[in-house]
A and B are shown apart, each in its own frame.
Chain A
Amino acid sequence: MADFEPRIVAFLCNWCTYTAADLAGTSRLQYPPNVRVIRLMCTGALDPVYVSKALLEGADGVLIGGCHPGDCHYQSGNYKARRRIAILHTILAQLGFDPQRVWLRWISASEGQRFADTVTEMVEHLRRLGPNPMRELPMS
């Protein structure tokens, strides 16, 4: 397990968290390279199907990053995303899959450090959890 490198798929909103990730880069902040970023216009545009797909194909964690509550570029997309992720968490828990592999975090465009810290924290968390058990299945 010592050489286990968690793989994180991140769905980041264009206006806040993606820009924060960009800022972390341009500020030369250091954080683990375990995250693969997919840019969305809004967390409210994220269908849970893509989160589920990542998990079923063996991603060890999924990070969903959006604007802080009240700051959504489209007024309320992040509140809607929060309900969808709450439902996904409930479903995963019901099906015996640890919902704490799916993180929803609010990171604004100016919070580059917060983005780097979040990724660092999530990688540590996933190292403790170990690999996604779905990894071993020949695609379900």
Chain B
Amino acid sequence: MLPDLRRLTPQKHARFRDIVLGGLLEPLGMSSFAGDLDEGEVDAIQAYVVSLAREAVAGEEQ
């Protein structure tokens, strides 16, 4: 049962690069993607995830 990335807290969003590139949550099974992705790509993924979250919020408020 993996985290719903649309439900990431502001705290997690603030550490997005640290998690994806820095391996912050590797002990929990979230691999570091350093070497696979650069910072710009990680930012693009985060922007995409945020856009999904906005769609979800909009869906709830409907």
A and B are partners in one complex rather than unrelated chains: no
Residues of chain A at the chain B interface (Cβ within 8 Å): none
